Amino acid sequence: MEEIRKKLDKILLKALKPARYIGGEIGSVVKERDKVDVRFAFCFPDTYDVGMSHLGMKILYGLKNAVPNWWCERVFMPEHDFEKLMRDNGIPLYGLESLDPIKDFDFIGFTLQYELSFNNVLQMLDLAGVPVLSKDRKGLTPIVVGGGPCVCNPEPMADFFDIFILGEGEEVNLELLRLYEKMKSEGTDKESFLRAAAGIEGIYVPGFYDVEYNDDGTVSSIVPNVPEAPEKIRKRVITDLDGVYYPESFVVPFSEIVHDRSVVEVLRGCIRGCRFCQAGFIYRPFREKNIDTIKSETKCLCEQTGYEEVSLSSLSTSDHTRINDLLLSLSDYTDGEKINLSLPSLRLDSFNEELLERIQAVRKSGLTFAPEAGTQRLRDVINKNITEEEIMSTCRMAFEWGYTQVKLYFMLGLPEETDEDVRGIAELAEKILQLYYDTPKEKRGRSVQIAVSTATFVPKPFTPFEFEPQATPEEIMHKQEVLRSAVKSPKKIRLSMHFQNTSILEAVLARGDRRLCKVIFDAWKKGCYMDSWDEYFNFALWQEAFEENGIDMGFYADRRRSYDETAPWSHLDYLVSRDFLIRENKKAHRAITTRNCKEGCSGCGIGADMGGVYCGGKNASAQKR
C-alpha cells in the first residue's frame, strides 16, 4: 500500500478529477488486514462517475462488508489519462479502500451492466496484472466472477471468467463466499472449489460446459462435462424485499457523479411485458417493498449521507400498488426536512396531477416519456400498451402545470415497422407541439421544446424479440432520413438519433456464443475498450477482429432465428418460459397485445413461490391460446 501511495502522490495532480482515484470518502469501509479472511474487489467496468451511481454495487458492497472478516473494496475503470500514468509509473489496479493491488485479493468481481463494457473487463484485469484468460489462472486466487444483467447471456465472455452469478445477488453472494472461506481454510485447490460452487443455485461455471455447433453455425448442444454441474442453471430471486439486506449508508463521493443522491429501491421486476425490454423479463417477478420499509430506508440514508435528494428506484415506480399512499407518507418526512423527492421511471398511463405535484420541485423544466413507437399499431406490436389519448392527456396536464420541455424516447428498426410508423414519430411530436399552443397562455410556460430521441432497436435474449433480426445499417439510415424529412417544425422539435455502429456491436455481443471470445480478445489487443464512449469507439478495429476470425457480424445481429434453434443461453434459466416468449413473438406479428400482470396473470412461467405480487393467479393460463 505504501509503495502505491507514494507513487500516487506524484501523479494524482496530473490526472483529470484525481478524487476518483484516492478513496477515503465518507462511508467507505476500511478494515484491518490481519483480521480479514476473504477479500473481494468489486469492479465496475466503467468510470468512477458512472459506477458510483450504480445501486447494485452499493447494496453488495455493504452486504459483504457487514461480515466482520470479509472486506469488499471498490474498483473502477480509470480514464485514459490516468491509466497511462498508472502504467508509466508501474501502478497496478488497486482497491480504493486499501490501495492494495487487487491481483492479491481472493475474488475479483465484475458487474456486467451493458455489452459495450465487455472489453473494459479485459483491460482492467490486464492493468491489475492478472491473466485475462481463465485457463491461464492456475492458482486458487484470484477467482474472477461476473454478475449483472448481461450474465443472462455471458457466453461471449466465457473464456475470461471462472464463475457467473445469475439473478439477484444478496443471498447467493453470501453462500459463495462462505463456501470459499471454508474451503480456503482447508487448503483446497481451484478445481475443487469451482466444483463445489457449481452446486449452489445461481452459480454458473462456464468451464464445466462443452458447446457443439451445427454445420450452419448455430449451436447444436450445451452439456456439462463434470457431474457437479447442472444441465440448467437457475437464476436467484429474492422473494422478500422487506427482509433482504439494504445498506444504511452509501459511500459519499468527493466529486460529482452521474446520479449524486440517495437511492431507495421500491420494487423489483415489471408488470408491463414490453416485448423489446430485457429488464422487464429477466427481473421478473414483480415484487415491492412495504411503505414502512421504504420510508425507514429513505430516512436512514438521508440522515447518514447528508444528501438532500432521494430517488425512488425501480423499472416503473408508479406501478407500486400503493403509490399515492407511498408518496403521501414519504412527503411527511421529505417536505419537513426540505429533501427533494425524485420519481424516475414513470409510466405515461399512470401519470396524474398528484405525481406532477410531487416531482415539480425537482424537474419543473421538463418531463421525459417513452412512447417507443409513433403509431398505435406498432405500440401494439411491441406491447407498449399506451394509447395516443393517454400520451396527449399527460402532455396536456404537463403544459397546464407550466412544463415547457417534453422529451420523448422512440426506437427505430422495431419488428413490423414501416415508413408510416416512422413518420408517425414526427406526427406525434407535432401534435404535442400543437397541444402546447392550444393550452391557455395564462397556464403554459413561455416557450416550448419537444426533444425527440431515437435509438436503434437491439434484439436481446429472454425477450419475445430475441428471435428477430436487427435492422441493417442501410435500413436504419433510410428510416432516419424518413423521420428527419417528416419533422415540420425543426426549431421547436429537436431531433437526435443514435449512432448505428454501436447498436450493431451491442446486438452481436448480446446474442453471441463462445466463438466471440476470441473476437473480443483480438479486438481488445487492437486497442478496443471504453466502447460505450463515442470518443473511444473504433468500429473499424472491431470489424478487423471479426474478419480475421472468419466471423460474420450479420450472423448474430440481423439474422432471424427459428423457434427451434438452440440459443447460446439455452442452458440458463431466467424463469420466463421459452414457450411464453414464442407465444408473445407470434402475437407481436399479429399486433395483438397482452395484458399486464396487474390485470391478470398471462402465464409467463414464473410460479407463485417466487414472491411475485401477481404471480400464479387463477388466470395463469388464460392467454396460452
Tens digit of each residue's pLDDT (9 = 90 or more) over 373-384? 999 999 999 999
Question: Where would I find the H helices in 150-212?
Answer: 169-185, 190-197
Of 309 and 457, more confident: 457
User: Is residue 363 over pLDDT 70?
Assistant: no
CATH 3.40.50.280 positions along the chain are 2-234
Task: Please give the Cα distance from 490 to 251 (Å, whole number).
Answer: 44
- CA 608 → CA 136, 454, 570, 598, 604, distances in Å? 44, 37, 23, 14, 11
User: Is residue 243 over pLDDT 50?
Assistant: yes
Sheet containing strand 405-412, edge to edge, reads 366-372, 405-412, 449-456, 493-497
Which of these ranges, 70-79, 237-246, 279-288, 329-338, has the smallest mean pLDDT? 329-338
- pLDDT class of 549 with cuts at 50, 70, 90: very high
Which of these ranges, 73-77, 283-287, 391-395, has the smallest mean pLDDT? 391-395
Residues 498-508 have a mean pLDDT of 91
Task: Please give the Cα distance from 471 to 290 (Å, whole number).
Answer: 43
Q: Supply the pLDDT for residue 600.
A: 93
Q: Find out whether 384 and 274 touch, Cβ atoms under 8 Å.
A: yes
User: Is residue 273 over pLDDT 80?
Assistant: yes
Residues 12-25 have a mean pLDDT of 94
Q: Is 129 strand, coil or helix?
A: coil
Per DSSP bridges, beta strands 203-204 and 209-213 are unpaired
User: Is residue 350 over pLDDT 80?
Assistant: no
Q: Supply the pLDDT for residue 402.
A: 85
The dihedral formed by the CA atoms of 586, 592, 597 and 601, expressed in degrees to the nearest 10: -60
pLDDT digits (tens, 9 = 90+) for 399-423: 888 888 899 999 999 999 999 999 9
Q: Which CATH architecture has domain 2-234?
A: 3-Layer(aba) Sandwich (3.40)
Task: Please give the Cα distance from 373 to 15 (Å, whole number).
Answer: 43
Residues 432-442 have a mean pLDDT of 93
Query: What kind of fold does domain 262-516 have according to CATH?
Result: pyruvate-formate lyase- activating enzyme (3.80.30)
Residues 325-353 have a mean pLDDT of 82
Q: Supply the pLDDT for residue 145.
A: 98
Q: Is 366 strand, coil or helix?
A: strand
Residues 85-112 have a mean pLDDT of 97
Q: Supply the pLDDT for residue 620.
A: 42
Which DSSP letter does residue 489 get? -
Q: Supply the pLDDT for residue 170.
A: 97
Q: How big is the CA angle at 151 (ends 369 and 79), to the nearest 5 degrees?
A: 75
Residues 12-23 have a mean pLDDT of 94
Nearest to 179 by CA among 159, 158, 201, 161: 201
Question: Is the dihedral angle over the CA atoms 527, 532, 538, 539 positive or is it negative?
Answer: positive
Of 446 and 613, more confident: 613
Residues 549-572 have a mean pLDDT of 97
Of 507 and 359, more confident: 507
- pLDDT class of 359 with cuts at 50, 70, 90: low
User: Is residue 131 over pLDDT 60?
Assistant: yes
- pLDDT class of 345 with cuts at 50, 70, 90: low
Residues 140-168 have a mean pLDDT of 98
User: Is residue 165 over pLDDT 50?
Assistant: yes
User: Is residue 293 over pLDDT 60?
Assistant: yes
Q: Find out whether 412 and 455 touch, Cβ atoms under 8 Å.
A: yes
C-alpha cell at 482: 424518413
CATH 3.80.30.20 positions along the chain are 262-516
Q: Find out whether 60 and 173 touch, Cβ atoms under 8 Å.
A: yes
Of 394 and 506, more confident: 506
User: Is residue 164 over pLDDT 60?
Assistant: yes
For all residues of the chain together, what is the average pLDDT? 93
Q: Supply the pLDDT for residue 371.
A: 94
Q: Is 411 strand, coil or helix?
A: strand
- pLDDT class of 625 with cuts at 50, 70, 90: very low
Q: Supply the pLDDT for residue 381.
A: 98
Question: Where would I find the H helices in 102-168?
Answer: 118-128
Q: Supply the pLDDT for residue 360.
A: 59
Nearest to 536 by CA among 78, 212, 221, 175: 78
Residues 41-64 have a mean pLDDT of 96
Q: Supply the pLDDT for residue 3.
A: 87
Amino acid at 450: I
Q: Find out whether 18 and 12 touch, Cβ atoms under 8 Å.
A: yes
Q: How big is the CA angle at 256 (ends 251 and 257), to the nearest 5 degrees?
A: 70
Q: Is the bond preceding residue 285 a cis peptide, omega within 30 degrees? A: yes
Residues 8-15 have a mean pLDDT of 94
pLDDT digits (tens, 9 = 90+) for 105-122: 999 999 999 999 999 999
In the chain, pLDDT over 70 holds for what percent of residues? Answer: 96
Which of these ranges, 28-37, 325-334, 422-431, has the smallest mean pLDDT? 325-334
User: Is residue 245 over pLDDT 90?
Assistant: yes
Q: Supply the pLDDT for residue 623.
A: 36
Q: Supply the pLDDT for residue 622.
A: 37
pTM (global) more than 0.85:
yes
Q: Find out whether 341 and 294 touch, Cβ atoms under 8 Å.
A: no
- pLDDT class of 260 with cuts at 50, 70, 90: confident
